[in-house]
Amino acid sequence: MTAVSRDDRPDIADLLAFYASAGVDDALEEEPLNRFAEAASKPAERAPATVTPTGGSATLPRSTSVSRAEMSEMPGAASVARAQSATATVPDEQQATLARQLAMRAATLDELRQHMAAFDGCNLKFTAKNLVFADGNPNAAVMLVGEAPGRDEDIEGLPFVGRSGRLLDRMLAAIGLDRTSAYIANVIPWRPPGNRTPTPHETEICRPFIERQIELVNPKVLVNLGGPSAKTLLNTTEGILRLRGNWRVHTTASGTAIPAMPTLHPAYLLRTPAHKKLAWRDFLEVKAKLRALG
């Protein structure tokens, strides 16, 4: 076997740059650690989470959690402890129920944001840097909803601020809008680690929050940016290339019907610029609909 000379080995700076571009967030130990065994050796007390919705009360048990202090004592867990602001929670149906109750209790967008910031029922919260709630004008006639924050959005705590955001700004400007005349949010408010696709369970846990957010904003027109947003909020399994360009309806919990236009996500358009013409047609439809609705 031919030996690899020292000069042939990759430069550490190049290696770190590769890891960063691949979405690596934290350094891990060389040997796998059994977190369950370590957590079992230091059992943490479970604290029930009590929510009192309108018309009744319900007490929901929290999932098994490990305190931040205990996490800091585990070998190689320093990066995890930095990422967590409270406790790590495994998503389950009880957390989805709690999310629905909290969302319905929010009477304003500020209350909804506070409930989401305090909610520990989605594991994505503990690997994300910031809650990415929304950007733009909550009184706008049009609301745009994407799937989940990326790296730049996670750092700044605002949706669509990276390359996709700059393209979205140009798309809005083409029909006479900007972030002062549009409201922008995501189905998932926390960045999935490494920009991976959110799991169906993570999406279902976060669904009540975005549905309540849409209900509170009450836009005249909803724009679904990308397939995941359209499938979640329009309750369909069709692909985005079949959905786009055709008006659908998003119905809120209170029964309000909002015209919805599924279109291509800006990140997809950056990878497939030939389809920008399709998104342009969709945004012209949005412009015409806004004009017709006054």
Rounded distance, CA 227 to CA 237, Å? 9
pLDDT at 28 over 70: no
Question: Any idea what DSSP says for residue 216?
Answer: H
Helix (H) or strand (E) holding 58: strand 58-60
Q: Which two tokens stand for residue 224?
A: 């679904």
Q: Which two tokens stand for residue 185?
A: 């949010």
Q: What is the pLDDT of residues 80-117, one digit of tens each?
A: 334 444 444 555 788 999 999 999 999 999 999 999 99
* Burial (CB count within 10 angstroms: exposed 0-12, middle 13-18, buried 19+), residue 112: buried
Rounded distance, CA 294 to CA 279, Å? 23
Q: What is the pLDDT of residues 149-160, one digit of tens each?
A: 999 999 999 999
The reported pLDDT for the residue numbered 292 is 97
Q: What is the pLDDT of residues 118-145, one digit of tens each?
A: 999 999 999 999 999 999 999 999 999 9
* Burial (CB count within 10 angstroms: exposed 0-12, middle 13-18, buried 19+), residue 83: middle
pLDDT at 212 over 70: yes
Rounded distance, CA 168 to CA 177, Å? 10
Q: Which two tokens stand for residue 195?
A: 């920009």
CA-wise closest residue to 187 among 271, 122, 139, 97: 122
The reported pLDDT for the residue numbered 62 is 39
Secondary structure class of 49 (helix, strand, coil): strand
Taking phi over 0 as left and psi of -120 to 50 as alpha, with beta for the rest, 51 belongs to beta
- How many beta carbons lie within 10 A of that of residue 8, not counting itself? 8
* Residue type for position 150: G
> Over pLDDT 90: what percentage of the chain?
68
pLDDT at 70 over 70: no
Three-class DSSP labels, 111-174? HHHHHHHHCCCCHHHHCCCCCCCCEECCCCCEEEEECCCCHHHHHHCCCCCCHHHHHHHHHHHH
pLDDT at 5 over 70: no
Quick one: average pLDDT of 51-57?
A: 41
pLDDT at 55 over 50: no
Q: Which two tokens stand for residue 252?
A: 């809120």
Its pTM stands at 0.71
